[in-house]
Every structure is written in structure tokens, then in C-alpha cells.
A and B are shown apart, each in its own frame.
Chain A
Amino acid sequence: MSKQIAFTIFFLAAIGVFGYTISRLRRFFKLTKKDFPLDNIPERIRQTLLVAFGQTKILRRPMIGLMHAFVWWGFLVITIGTAEMMVDGLVGTERFLGKILGPVYTAIMASGDVLAAFIVFACISFLARRYVIKVKRFSGVEMTPTANLDATVALLMILFLMVSLLGMNIAYVKLAGAEKVGVYPVSESLQGLVANIGGSTVAKLHELSWWTHIVLVLVFMNILPYSKHFHVFMSVPNVFFTRLGPYTKLRNMESVTKEVKAMLDPSATIEPQAADAPIPRFGVKDVEDVNWKNYADSLTCTQCGRCTSVCPANTTGKLLSPRKILVDLRHRMNDKGPGLSRDPQYTDGKALVGDYITQEELWACTTCNACVQECPVNIDHVSLIVDMRRSLVMEDSSAPESLVAMFTNIENNGAPWQFSPSDRMRWADDLFSNKAS
């Protein structure tokens, strides 16, 4: 009974903190723009099944992708067991799902047990990739010591989560004996570890493992929203909300369409603007200009660096790193979001473009979409980069001189180079000169 009470108190506290975090994120989302349509639901479901659950994009790097895929599938299975533990803890039952689910339960427990062991191995390998092999894409300006610490803490927590789960299973197998519900291939084969330990000690081990696991789960859950590991929650919805259509199709700016139409046809009636309506800014200059999907992208980014590792600009030594764009957006929201949600006029004298992301970074992008192609959670860097360019050009008239010249050429000659439009057919000069026309 006392265990039930202790757990209930702890559980409610954890939920309370989590609730606070979520309401904070909700406030931040409210600051963003709504303009991101959700059409074509069947295609979205297909993408979610393939990219999120099927891990198709992370598997573009087969070896490490497969390891991640098993960790993820393991997470899905083990979460069922964790939910069961919570109910057990609150209600005072023991493995209550076992009676309800029967053979399905056996399958869940067996695969969870095996995958937990695999995840232990995977976490150690992932840590080794960071600290021993030093995989190149885990470095970069945006990979600050804090960012690296974040990754390490998350990996260690997962590691201990799995160790405690296995400890619990090992103890359970011994304690339950013939009453055992479920099958535990790894824990059963590891019975040698507890063979010479007395029953009461094993019971204590079980209690300790149970508490370690459940406390870690609830603590981890509360750290996640502040960590790059938030992708555990965010990746599935983010993939569902993917920008669909060809990568190279940019979204049309309706606000500009209105103005251009008015310019081309002055007689068209223009809806009168409410006098006190704020003048909308073109493009993205700061965090209040992004749409909710951009912000979701920034919360989803796992900082894996796959985008940056294929970016032609980054790999040839330019400042641009697509990962940094997302990391910066998230930071900016953390810095400006609290003030902005209290007072819509709030300013700290800084902006996302300029103080976090420099023009030099933005102008280096070739819009090749290699980053978008490679991102395992379907983040769209290019739309955001172009939106920031839009603000630079249309709000600040700040583009490299040669681009301004290109604009002028298009405006005056209908071509990005300085040629006269009347010369457009010159290519055909020799071709048809011998033909009677």
C-alpha cells in the first residue's frame, strides 16, 4: 500500500511538471503563424507509416539505420510494458496485462526483453561513435558542449532504463518460478547471475529495478521536451505533417499574390485593411514569423547531422549548416518566446536573422534539397531558408549586389543576364537562315 501511495505522489508530480512544459510549448506554438495547410491525409498516413514507423529514411545509411530502427521498434514494444508498470504501480496489481492479452502479452514481453538487451548494446555503440570513433557529423559549431552533453545524458538514461528493465525481468523470472507470465529469452538465459542469491535479496533487486526504471522513465519524460531527444515524441507527428509534393516546389506567398494582382489590375477591388491591423511582414525575420510547422521541425530535430553531412555548402567549408538553422530557431524561441507570450510587442533588440543566423549562411544555400532528402524525420530546411531570404530581400532590401543586378535584369530584360529581349531568337539564326520562312 505504501508503495502505491509513494508511487502515486511521484507519478502525479511528474505529470504536473510535464503538464507545465506542454502548456509552455503550447504558448510558443501560439506565437507562430497558422499558414501551413493539412491536405491529402491518405498520403500523410502513408508517409507516417513508411518514414516514421518503417524508418525508411534513416535506413538510407543501412548499418546504423538498422540499429536505430531496432531501438525505435524496441521503444514501441517496451512502452507497452512501461504503461503496464504505471498501472500496476497506481492500482497495486502485478503484470495485469498478462491475463488480458494472453499470447500477445507473451510476444510483447519476449520481444521487449530481447530488444532491451539489444538497446543496451546499441547505446554503448552510439556512445562509442561519439567519443571513440568521433563520427564527423556529430561535430560542428552548433554542436556546443551543451548539445553534446544532451546527447550523452539521453543515451546514458536509455542505457540505465534498459539495464533496470533487464534487472527487473531477471529477478521476476526467478521469483515467479512456475507462476511466471510471459516469456523472457534474455533474462531467462541470464538466470546464472542470480542463481546463488537468496530469495529476499532477489525480491529487493526486483523492487530496486522496478523503482529505478519507473523513476527514470518519469524523469526522462520531463527532460525530453528540453532535449534533442524530444524527437521521441515529435517525430511521428512531424512526419505526418510533412510538406508534401516535390521537394523543389516552393509554397506560394498568397500575400504577395494579392499585391501583384492589385498591381496588374488596379481596378480590382482591394479589401480595405482594418486601420489598426498590424502590417504583415514578408518572409521570416524572427521567431514570430515562422509557421507552426517550422517550429515543430525545430523541436523534432535530433541533431543527427545527416543534413549537414550532405550539404554541398557545408562540406565545401561554407558557414551554412542546415542543422544549425533548426537548432537556432529552437534557441531563439526559448529566448524570445517567454517575453513574447506575455507581451506581443516584446523585443530584446535581437532577431533570428542577423543575431542567430547570419546572412552569409543564408546566401550559401543552393536549394539542392539534399538536406531535406536525408533528414530522417522529414524536416524542411529549404522552405525556412528561402523564407528568411524573402525577409532579407523584400523587407530589408539586403541581398548580395550581384543578385540585385540579377533582379534588375529580369525586371528590365526578362532574363537574369543583361541581354535584350529582342535577341531571344538569336540562337536560331544559323539554324533557319537557309530556310525560306
Chain B
Amino acid sequence: MAEMTAAGEQPEILFWVGCAGAFDDRYKKVTRAFVKILDALGVKYAVLGTEESCTGDPARRAGNEFLFQMQAMGNITVLNGYGIKKIVTACPHCFNTLKNEYPDLGGTYEVIHHSTYLQQLIDEGKLRVSDGKPFKGRRITFHDSCYLGRGNNIYDAPRNVLEQLDADLVEMKRSRSRGLCCGAGGAQMFKEAERGDKEVNVERTEEALATGCQIVATACPFCMTMMEDGTKHFNKEDQVKVYDLAELIATANDL
């Protein structure tokens, strides 16, 4: 971003990579898949790079409002400094925080989750899946992220994107607004679960496996980790793969 500003340019979108997208080895692949799509379509985008910092979402949900607001104010200063108007992110937690919570602290942007963004590109006729269609007929189930679906009413965009793959889309027993959490929200990702009979992600993975799917599609870094751990729990990680929407689209387009 700094380079673009130096060159006197403004990007079409700011791609908010997020901590998982930047540091988590698995999710880095999603980040790469998404920028490959952007590059292929010639979208003029920028990233903040080292100027990006955690949105503060996990701190806020864990009760540390101070830390959250410190993070938020820092990020808002950077974003406003560059005059950012439009942000796209592949993380529903970043999405929710940037879109719904930053305005209270003086940061108002058009924030789009990458599922919606991909759908827009498809609707505009820019993004198409090439004819090879490697996923044709494969059985795919989509796991709703709470912060995307229940929180922000985005249920159709990811499904519409998956439609492009010409795959056999199946729904789990609980889906859309009744979808079951993967177990990672509210800062659970960063701690051990409380005592109980079962892990939440195991319960959710059971439901996913019950569909007989070959691929679990996700649109959230936490969901991805939880579902992958789940398939490993059942020793199914070779038969059932977990992919992000962007990865599926990128692969289908041979990117």
C-alpha cells in the first residue's frame, strides 16, 4: 500500500489479509489462491503488509476491550491515513469487526467478504470457471461460518460461488441459520475447550461426514482449522479435504 501511495495511485480494493492469512501455514495458501484470482483478473489491489495489525476481534470477544480498542484505533489511523474506501477480506471475523465495529471508533469503510466479492466478480461476468471443471460431480458440502451467516446474513454468496464448480452440492443436517458452530469463535481458537463430552468441531465434522462429501468447503480460517482437525480426528483427512472457496475457484481455473 505504501508503495502505491508513493506512486500516487489508489487501489480498487484493499485486501485485508488477516493474521491467519498472513501467518497460518494452511491459510497462507488461501491468501495466495485469492491473490492469484485477483491477479488473473487484473484487479488493482493493495495490501497493508507489515502495517496491518490484528483487528482485535479475539481480544474483544475474550473481554479485553482495552486491547481491542487500542488495535482498532491503530488500524483505523493507518486505513484512514491511506484514504481507504473499500476492503475485501477472506476472514469473517476481520470482516465483522471492520464492517460492524470499527464505525463506532471512527473507521467507516465498505467492507466485503471474499465470498461476496467472488460472487460479484462472477455476476459481472469477469470470473468464470474454465471448462475443465475438475470438481464436476464431486460431492461438496459448505460449512457456514457463524460470523458470516448468522452474524451478517451471508448464506447465499458462498453457495452461489460453489455453484460455478458444477459440483454435487449437499447440505448438512444443520445449515444456514441453523448451522452449528465449528467451535472456534469467541477466542476459543486460542484456548483449550472447557470440560465436556465432546469437542464441538468433532460434532460438526460428524455432520459433514454424514453427507458423504469428498470436500468440505469453508470461508473462514478458524472453521478451516477446526474442520481439518475434525477430519483428522476421524482419520479421514485423506478422503475428505477441507478447502476455502478461493482455493476451489483458483484450482478450477488452473491458477
A414 touches B71 (CB 8 A): yes
Residues A260 and B66 in contact, CB atoms below 8 Å apart: yes
Q: Complex formed: what's the CA distance from A421 to B199 in Å?
A: 32
Contact of A427 among B32, B56, B64, B146 (CB under 8 A): B32
Do A317 and B197 touch (CB < 8 A)?
yes
Of listed B17, B152, B185, B187, residue having the most chain A CB within 10 A: B187
Name the B residues within 8 Å of A369 (CB-CB).
146, 150-151
- Proximity string of chain A (244-258) to chain B, C-beta cutoff 8 Å, 1 when within and 0 when not: 011111101100110
Residue from A317, A367, A394 within 8 A of B186 (CB atoms): A367
Look across to chain B and name the residue whose beta carbon is closest to the beta carbon of A422: B50
Are A248 and B147 in contact, with the CB atoms below 8 A?
yes
Q: Identify the interface centre among A261, A419, A428: most chain B CB within 10 Å of its CB.
A: A428
Distance in angstroms between the alpha carbons of A428 and B178 in the assembled complex? 37
Establish whether residues A367 and B22, one from each chain, have CB atoms under 8 Å apart when the complex forms. Answer: no
B53 close to A394 (CB less than 8 A): no
Please, how many angstroms separate the alpha-carbon atoms of A426 and B189 in the complex? 22
Chain A residues within an 8 Å CB radius of B71: 410, 414
* A247: contacting residue among B47, B65, B151, CB under 8 A: B151
Contact in complex: B32, A253 (CB < 8 Å) = no
Residues of B within 8 A of A320 (CB): 194
How far is it, in angstroms, between the C-alpha of A366 and the C-alpha of B193 when the chains are bound? 10
B196 & A252 in contact (Cβ 8 Å cutoff): no
DSSP majority for the B interface?
helix
User: Is A316 touching B200 in the complex (CB atoms < 8 A)?
Assistant: yes
Closest A residue to B32 using CB positions: A431
Q: Measured between alpha carbons, how far is A403 from B70 in the docked complex, in Å?
A: 17
Cβ A367 vs Cβ B61 within 8 A = yes
CB distance from B174 to the nearest CB of A (A): 9
In the complex the two chains form, is B190's CB within 8 Å of A248's CB?
no
Give the contact stretch, choosing among B98-106, B118-126, B211-219. Answer: B98-106
Could you say which residues of chain B place their CB within 8 Å of the CB of A391?
63
Q: How far is the CB of B26 from chain A (nearest CB, A)?
A: 11
Chain B residues lying within 8 Å of A104, measured Cβ to Cβ, are: none
Q: Which residues of A contact B63 (CB under 8 A)?
A: 283, 386, 388-394, 399
Query: Which A residues touch B197, using CB under 8 A?
Result: 316-317
A310 to B19, CA, bound (A): 30
CB distance from B207 to the nearest CB of A (A): 12
Q: B16-36: which residues lie under 8 A (CB-CB) from chain A? A: 17, 19, 21-24, 28, 31-32, 35-36
Number of chain B interface residues as a range: 35 or more
- Cβ distance A356 to chain B, nearest Cβ, rounded Å: 17
Q: Decide: A360 and B194 in contact? CB cutoff 8 A.
A: yes
Chain B minimum-CB-distance residue to A437:
B3
Interface of A is mostly: helix
B203 and chain A: residue at smallest CB distance: A316
Place the interface of chain A in its size category.
35 or more
- Decide if B194 touches A370 in the complex (CB within 8 Å): no
Are the C-beta atoms of B150 and A250 separated by less than 8 Å?
no
A410 interface neighbour in B24, B67, B203, Cβ under 8 Å: B67
Cβ of A259 and Cβ of B66 under 8 Å apart?
Answer: yes
Assembly CA distance A410 to B66 (angstroms): 12
Contacts of A201 in B (CB 8 A): none
State how many angstroms separate the Cβ of B100 from the closest Cβ of chain A: 4
Residues of B within 8 A of A (CB): 17, 19, 21-24, 28, 31-32, 35-36, 47, 49-50, 52-54, 56, 58-67, 69-71, 73, 96, 100-101, 104-105, 146-147, 150-153, 177-178, 180-181, 183-200, 202-204
Report which A residues bind B (CB closer than 8 A): 245-250, 252-253, 256-257, 259-261, 263-264, 282-283, 310, 312-313, 315-320, 360, 363-370, 373, 386, 388-394, 399-400, 402-403, 405-407, 410-411, 414-417, 419, 421-428, 430-431
With A248-B100, A313-B196, A316-B203 known, 8 other A-B pairs at CB within 8 A are A245-B100, A363-B191, A368-B186, A389-B63, A392-B63, A403-B191, A410-B67, A416-B190
**What would 8 A/B residue contacts be, using CB atoms closer than 8 Å?**
A283-B65, A316-B199, A370-B146, A391-B63, A406-B187, A407-B67, A416-B54, A427-B32
Query: Top 8 closest A-B pairs, CB basis?
Result: A248-B151, A317-B197, A389-B63, A367-B186, A414-B53, A317-B196, A368-B181, A393-B63
